[in-house]
Amino acid sequence: MSTSTDETAKSAADPAGISGAAIRAGDRSFLGLSRGAGILVLAVMAAIAAFLVWKAIPSLQVDSANFLTEQSWLPDQTPSVFGIAVLAFGTFVTAVIAMLIAVPIGFGIALFIAYYARPKFGKALGFIVDLLAAVPSIIFGLWGLYNFMPAVTSFAEWLTEYLGWIPIFANDKQLWTKSLLMAGLVLAIMVLPTVSAISREVFLQVPRMHIEASLALGATRWEMIKMAVFPFSRPGMISAAMLGLGRALGETIAVALILSAVFEVNTHITEPGGNSFAANIALKWGEAGEVGRSALIASGLVLFLITLAVNMIARWIIARRKEFSGAN
């Protein structure tokens, strides 16, 4: 009787016929692999940071200007003079323009595909968005240089004509191409598929019971989205925006093709001028000397730290609220 009871209990606890020891061994193996993968990622990041610091120190030692505030880039002259003020300003401005445009439009496209479009049309549109996210940067850069920029020059002129009383839209040079605005618009188009694709997948993961319960209580579709979809999807929406920001900060070829070679801090975003970390590295690496390459690596180190800080801030935003992190 006791043997039969033990066998019944064992089969109920292990319906697949897998022993407890095998399950524990599998758990330990998975734990080891997961822990090893996490340690490996941290080790790779630490190695990248150490390499950048090691290569950047020689140029920083001979720089005769303030590395953070200098607005010229002449590392190979004697004495060496260079700084990242122009690069930081250009990178920040173009990324902000891109995110202001891409994030709300990307979320709107994702919501339309997930909850408004007919299923077949939504799947087709989602497939197109995924394809756009895989387009190489050089394609966006060439398209932006030869097709998009001439088409939106009239828009930049309109901004100057009607909003020129705002300092950032003033244009004293009466030239509207190769500007930070153009680079930001191209970056917005590049970032848009990434934000839309990721947020769409997050919206589709909302439990169906939450959606049906909201609609059953008499909520409209938009009220259902506000009450059921957004609270559940907020961590994923933040992650989508941060991934888009990471691409905007680190974009190289497209920005290098769109921006002019003028190395100056220009607060008029419709005028030619400005530069970014990644574009400056791509344009000047081939002609740089030993100190120049070390200086470019130093600027890359700053971009690495900025990207790391952005991701840490995103994690902090999610973790500081329990309803964001899913702890509830």
Residue spans of the domains in the chain: they are: 2-61, 64-325
Share of the chain above pLDDT 90, in %: 21
* Segment (H or E) for 217: none
Question: Span 174-182, mean pLDDT?
Answer: 84
Report helix, strand or coil for 18. coil
With a CB cutoff of 8 Å and minimum separation 6, the contacts of 72 are 65, 81, 82, 83, 263
Looking at residue 18, its pLDDT comes to 58
Q: Measuring CA to CA, which residue among 298, 80, 93, 112 is closest to residue 184?
A: 93
Q: Going by CATH, does the domain composed of 64-325 fall within 3.20.19.10?
A: no
- CA-CA distance, 189 to 316, in Å (whole number)? 28
pLDDT, one tens digit per residue, over 224-236 is 999 889 988 888 8
Angle between helices 180-204 and 149-163 (to 10 degrees): 110
Inter-residue contact 156 to 270 (CB < 8 Å)? yes
- CA-CA distance, 219 to 221, in Å (whole number)? 6
Q: Measuring CA to CA, which residue among 249, 279, 281, 276 is closest to residue 56?
A: 281
Establish whether the linkage from the previous residue to 79 is cis, with ω within 30° of 0: yes
Looking at residue 313, its pLDDT comes to 82
Inter-residue contact 310 to 242 (CB < 8 Å)? yes
- CA-CA distance, 300 to 55, in Å (whole number)? 10
pLDDT-derived band at 242, boundaries 50, 70, 90? confident
- CA-CA distance, 171 to 190, in Å (whole number)? 26
Inter-residue contact 179 to 273 (CB < 8 Å)? yes
Tokens 């043997």: give the residue: 3
Looking at residue 23, its pLDDT comes to 67
Question: Span 255-262, mean pLDDT?
Answer: 79
Looking at residue 260, its pLDDT comes to 73
Inter-residue contact 77 to 84 (CB < 8 Å)? no
pLDDT, one tens digit per residue, over 96-155 is 999 999 999 999 999 999 999 888 898 898 888 888 888 888 888 888 888 888 888 888
The per-residue pLDDT of the chain, averaged, comes to: 84
Range list of H helices, the chain: 2-13, 20-62, 85-111, 119-133, 137-143, 149-163, 180-204, 208-216, 221-224, 230-250, 253-258, 277-284, 290-319, 322-325
pTM: 0.83
